[in-house]
Amino acid sequence: MARALIFPGQGSQTVGMGQALAEAFPGAREVFEEVDDALGRNLSALMWDGPMEELTLTANAQPALMAHSIAMLRVLQKEAGLDVENAMFVAGHSLGEYSALCAAGALSLAQTAKLLRTRGEAMQASVPAGEGAMAALIGADLGTAQKAIDGAKGEGVCEIANDNAPGQVVISGAKTRVEAVCAGAKEFGIKMAKLLPVSAPFHSSLMQPAADVMAKALEKAEIKAPKLPLVANVTAQEVVAPGEIRNLLVQQVTGRVRWTESVGYMESKGCDKFVEIGTGKVLAGLVKRIAKEAQMISVGEPGDIDAFVKF
C-alpha cells in the first residue's frame, strides 16, 4: 500500500478552521503562533473568529489554509505516528503545492507563510476588482471546454485554469468573456456553468504580473530538496530539484492546475491511498472521480485522528 499526502487549495477556507486542533494539541497551537509571528499579525484570530469576507481575501486565505494543513500534519506526526518520508508523493492544489513543499521539508513554515501572503497580494493586485472571473464547467472535458471558449463572443482572455476531475473543468479570464462562455455552455453539451466566488482570474495569463512578483520572491527563498517527490501542478510529473521547483512555482501562477493528470500519475506509480490534510474534503471528492480504485481520507479535525490511524 503506497500513499500520497495531498493538500487543499483556495475555496476550502471556513471560519473556525484549525481552532479545535489548536485547543487540543500544543503542537498545532505552535504552528499557528509561528505563522502569526512570521506575518506580524494575528491571522489565527481571523481564522477562528472571521469575518468570512476578510478570511476569503486571497492574501489571508492562502496562508490560513497552509497553516491548518501543517498544524494537522504535525499532530498526525506526534499523535498518530505519521512519517512523511514513508509516503510516496506529496502534492497540493494550487496554493496547496506550498503546503506540500513545507510538509516535505523543502520550505520552512515561516517562509511558506510569507511567500503565500506575497502570492495572494500579488494575485489580487494583478487585475482590478470586478474585471476578472472564474467559472466551473460541470460535465465538460478539456476538449468541450475549449470549444465553448472558442465559440464564445466577446473580447478578452479566457483560458482553462484547472482540470480538476473528469467532468469538472474550471475556466478563468476577463469577466465578460467568462460570462459569455457560461451563457453559451449548454450549446456544447455542458451540464452546468457556475461562476465561482473568487476575487481574481487565477491560473490565467492575466496573472503574469503576479508571476513576475513571485519570480523575485522565490529567487530569494531558500528551497531545499524535498524529502519525497512533489507531483507538480504545471507538469503533473514528479520533481525534487530545488531549481526546478522554483521555476514551476513561478509558472504555476499563470499555468493550468493539472489535477486529473497529477492524481493519474501518482496512481500509475502504484499509489493507492490518498490522505487529504487540512480544511475540508474537496480533494478527496476529486480523487474519488479520478482514481476509482484508490482509498482516500480527509483529516483536518481532532476527531479524524482515529480514522487516520486505522487507514
Cell output for 251: 509558472
Q: What is the DSSP string of 77-138?
A: HHHS---GGGSSEEEESTTHHHHHHHHTTSS-HHHHHHHHHHHHHHHHHHS-TTSEEEEEEE
Q: What is the pLDDT of residue 153?
A: 87
Query: Does residue 299 come out as left (phi exceeding 0), alpha (psi in the -120 to 50 range) or beta?
Result: beta
Higher pLDDT, 295 or 197: 295
Average pLDDT over all residues of the chain: 96
Closest CA to 198 of 190, 208, 206, 188: 206
pLDDT tens per residue, range 259-304: 999 999 999 999 999 999 999 999 999 999 999 999 999 999 999 9
Please measure the distance between the N-terminal and C-terminal CA atoms of the chain and give it in whole angstroms: 11
Q: 163 in helix, strand or coil? A: strand
Q: What is the pLDDT of residue 129?
A: 84
Decide if pLDDT at 83 tops 90. Answer: yes
The answer for residues whose C-beta is within 8 angstroms of residue 139's C-beta and 6 or more apart is: 167, 189, 190, 191, 192
Q: What is the pLDDT of residue 198?
A: 82
Q: What is the pLDDT of residue 142?
A: 96
Q: How far apart are CA 105 and CA 90, in angstroms?
A: 11
Q: What is the pLDDT of residue 155?
A: 86
Q: What angle do CA 264, 267, 268 make, to 5 degrees?
A: 85
Question: Is 181 exposed, middle or buried (CB count within 10 Å of its CB: 0-12, 13-18, 19+)?
Answer: buried
pLDDT tens per residue, range 147-187: 999 999 888 999 999 999 999 999 999 999 999 999 999 99
Cell output for 95: 496554493
Q: What is the pLDDT of residue 94?
A: 97
The answer for residues whose C-beta is within 8 angstroms of residue 3's C-beta and 6 or more apart is: 86, 87, 88, 271, 272, 273, 274, 275
pLDDT tens per residue, range 89-125: 999 999 999 999 999 999 999 999 999 999 999 999 9
Look up the pTM and report it: 0.97
Cell output for 310: 486505522
Side chain identity at 166, as an amino acid letter? P
Q: What is the pLDDT of residue 130?
A: 87
Decide if pLDDT at 199 tops 80. Answer: no
Q: How far apart are CA 103 and CA 85, in angstroms?
A: 10
| Active site positions, annotated | 94, 203
Strands 158-165 and 2-7 turn out to be: unpaired
Q: How far is CA 239 from the centre of its chain?
A: 17
